[in-house]
Structure 1
Amino acid sequence: MEGIVIVNRDINLKTQALLLLSLFVAPQTFGQDSFFPIWGDEAEKRGYTLPKPYGLSLSYMDMSNPITVNSINLTGHPVLDALDVDANHADFKGSNITLRGDVWVFPFLNVYGILGYTQGTSKAKINSVSCDHASVPGFGNKALCRLLDAAGGDLPDNAMFELDMDGGTYGVGTTIAGGVGSWFALVDMNYTYTSISAIDGNIKTFVAAPRVGHRWEYDGGRELRVFVGAMYQDVQQYLSGDLKSLGLPPALDSIIDQLAPDGKFEVSQSTDDKWNGVAGFQYAFNRDWEVLMEAGFGPRETLFFAVSRRF
């Protein structure tokens, strides 16, 4: 969410940081002479106040999200292949920080790219563990499978598996906006991909967020915008790796370690509730700098903060 017609994360690291800082604090180098937005002159002639066409924003989001565990597959030993782990619900808590660059292509259309870092933890309670002994070859394996099947229905309340997820995030998005008088409406949509670094896996996220709000203009280019809306979020997580990194209960982890020290897992997860409500405000100190705060409420809870520089 950016701007007034709101539409809408061989050089060394030190040099890159200095270049990024210079973009945020540099004096105005673009403006009304810019090619973008297309049809901007016509919009201003009709009385619309347009934002500067280019923007950089740095944002932070904290999130808590219930998710569904679609499947858990263990491999590396016939007994592991026959195990069925019932842990169909998990809670994800995490955060991300993103850098976003955007441009107003038209007065009503903004496009942007996102580059950032996401980290979080998914915890799921293991309700039971069963083993299909009929599918396991060998007398010893069948006996072990029966033992696991008998013990797997009486697990302690703290029987959990835990996945730590962190990695780079990148994506693209667009916002379509319009308004009448001091009222505005917009729909922001983006797709991001996070590559998990600690284990093999990825998180694919599609977001669509409609909002409506009211704005107040003040002297010196200052402006306050207050809005409410909703957010649709479809998250698909696919994770795989060594069983030792799955965070299973110690007793079960010890048995699996003896069976298959190099055992693997595959976990597929998705969001429980795709919709939640949002409310927030955006304040422009002038035509160059603005801040945004937004809170999400409902089954999925979020807190979002961003500072933006327009050029």
Structure 2
Amino acid sequence: MLKKTALLLIAGIFAPLTFAQQSFFPIWGDEAEKLGYTLPKPYGFSISYMDMSNPITVNSIDLTGHPVLEAIDVDANQADFKGSNITLRGDVWVFPFLNVYGIIGYTQGQSKARINSVSCDRGAVNGIVNNALCSAIDQVGSNLPDNAMFTLDMDGGTYGIGTTIAGGVGNWFALLDMNYTYTSISAIDGNIKTFVAAPRVGHRWEYDGGRELRVFVGAMYQDVEQYLSGDLKSLGLPSELAKAVDALAPDAGFEVSQSAEEKWNGVVGFQYAFNRDWDILMEAGFGQRETLFFALGRRF
């Protein structure tokens, strides 16, 4: 049944359709065409893939499950995130200058942070035993190997909404794309909330048969907030520290808050339409955040 449903969905996306020709959208489309503008077909589906590498700021690491753990301070404020996602997008041009869309997909990634040191605040705990444990953790935490890391695997489903505002003069165009996505992490408790705003400017060339090439440059603003929690063992702590924590509290947990270190980066790319139905888009981002994006689109 699932296979049959998937086949019907694919057939519906890629089969020739005529309903768009009688579509209500885009509003004011006839007026825009009378002024000489060539408009895309109103409805679209696309599949895309993005690869990304991004420095991350670790805002806080809190340990839970025992008073001594709650007194521990982990110094690991910088992390590197590497990940990718694949998404399906459906969109409609509501006005000639305004597109709205929905996104559903899957994201997988991993962040790694070097642990500089681990210390325990003995003034925050009571009792001889707890103070002795704090002293032992201080001893272990101040002699960590240079490659001591904690690792977070962040895989899960992604969904979101967005809008594009576009305009142009002659063959020059400008647009502003904005979207908000939410990723629910499957392996651990947590989520990634991302807001993106990407202004671009470019030039287009039209050819026979509906072919068109657009080349653009721009920037991308990305505000990422990651909230993660789970079993402390899943952090991949150094073995010396993991053994000490396990002996102290086998059910110990963690809570981590992270955000993007650099919110802006530059982008350059192109979009090529084979005809009025099919197009491809490729975009590269450069700066502290590096991205590579591919998309194949179908319009109706």
How high is the TM-score relative to the length of structure 1? 0.95
- In the TM superposition, residue 135 of structure 1 has moved relative to its aligned partner by 1.6
Amino acid in the other structure paired with 1:285: F
Give the Cα–Cα distance (whole angstroms) in 2 for the partners of residues 134 and 25 of structure 1: 66
Q: Which of 106, 124, 143 in structure 2 is aligned with 1:154?
A: 143
Q: 2:19 aligns to what SS in structure 1?
A: coil
- 1:196 is aligned to 185
Amino acid in the other structure paired with 2:54: N
- 1:59 is aligned to 48
- 1:267 is aligned to 256
- In the TM superposition, residue 16 of structure 1 has moved relative to its aligned partner by 2.6
- 1:5 is aligned to none
Give the Cα–Cα distance (whole angstroms) in 1 for the partners of residues 201 and 9 of structure 2: 32
Amino acid in the other structure paired with 2:91: D
**What is the 5 A alignment of 1:128-277?**
128-277=117-266
Query: Are positions 1:33 and 2:52 aligned together?
Result: no
Q: 2:131 aligns to what SS in structure 1?
A: helix
Q: Is the 8 A contact 2:140 2:241 kept in 1?
A: no
- 2:32 is aligned to 43
Query: Are positions 1:105 and 2:89 aligned together?
Result: no
Amino acid in the other structure paired with 2:118: V
Give the Cα–Cα distance (whole angstroms) in 2 for the partners of residues 61 and 43 of structure 1: 33
Query: Are positions 1:114 and 2:103 aligned together?
Result: yes
TM-superposition CA deviations, 1:217-270 (whole Å, max 9, x none): 000000000000000000000000001111111110111111111111000000
Q: 2:22 aligns to what SS in structure 1?
A: coil
Give the Cα–Cα distance (whole angstroms) in 2 for the partners of residues 290 and 19 of structure 1: 22
Amino acid in the other structure paired with 1:192: T
- In the TM superposition, residue 57 of structure 1 has moved relative to its aligned partner by 0.3
Amino acid in the other structure paired with 1:63: M
- In the TM superposition, residue 79 of structure 1 has moved relative to its aligned partner by 1.2
Give the Cα–Cα distance (whole angstroms) in 1 for the partners of residues 139 and 232 of structure 2: 22
Q: Which of 45, 66, 70 in structure 2 is aligned with 1:81?
A: 70
Task: Give the alignment's Cα RMSD to 1 decimal.
Answer: 0.9
TM-superposition CA deviations, 1:111-151 (whole Å, max 9, x none): 00000000000100001111011221221221120121133
Give the Cα–Cα distance (whole angstroms) in 1 for the partners of residues 186 and 20 of structure 2: 41
Query: Are positions 1:295 and 2:266 aligned together?
Result: no
Q: 2:129 aligns to what SS in structure 1?
A: helix
Give the Cα–Cα distance (whole angstroms) in 2 for the partners of residues 303 and 267 of structure 1: 27
- 1:3 is aligned to none
Amino acid in the other structure paired with 1:30: F
Unaligned runs of 5+ residues in structure 2 are none
Q: 1:38 aligns to what SS in structure 2?
A: coil
Give the Cα–Cα distance (whole angstroms) in 2 for the partners of residues 306 and 107 of structure 1: 22
Query: Identity across aligned pairs (percent)?
Result: 81
- 1:4 is aligned to none
Amino acid in the other structure paired with 2:79: A
Q: Which of 269, 278, 283 in structure 1 is aligned with 2:272?
A: 283
Give the Cα–Cα distance (whole angstroms) in 2 for the partners of residues 100 and 133 of structure 1: 53
Structure 1 window deviating more from structure 2 (75-84 vs 142-151): it is 142-151
Give the Cα–Cα distance (whole angstroms) in 2 for the partners of residues 113 and 182 of structure 1: 28
- In the TM superposition, residue 30 of structure 1 has moved relative to its aligned partner by 2.8
TM-superposition CA deviations, 1:66-124 (whole Å, max 9, x none): 01000000011111111000100000000000000000000000000000000000100
Give the Cα–Cα distance (whole angstroms) in 2 for the partners of residues 251 and 154 of structure 1: 10
Q: 1:17 aligns to what SS in structure 2?
A: helix
Structure 1 window deviating more from structure 2 (279-288 vs 19-28): it is 19-28
TM-superposition CA deviations, 1:255-302 (whole Å, max 9, x none): 111111111100000000000000000000000000000000000000
TM-superposition CA deviations, 1:24-47 (whole Å, max 9, x none): 321132344210000000000000
How high is the TM-score relative to the length of structure 2? 0.98
Amino acid in the other structure paired with 2:6: A
Give the Cα–Cα distance (whole angstroms) in 1 for the partners of residues 140 and 192 of structure 2: 33
Q: Which segments of structure 1 move beyond 4 Å, counting only runs of 4 or more? A: none
Give the Cα–Cα distance (whole angstroms) in 1 for the partners of residues 290 and 135 of structure 2: 42
- 2:7 is aligned to 18
- In the TM superposition, residue 154 of structure 1 has moved relative to its aligned partner by 2.8
- In the TM superposition, residue 23 of structure 1 has moved relative to its aligned partner by 2.5
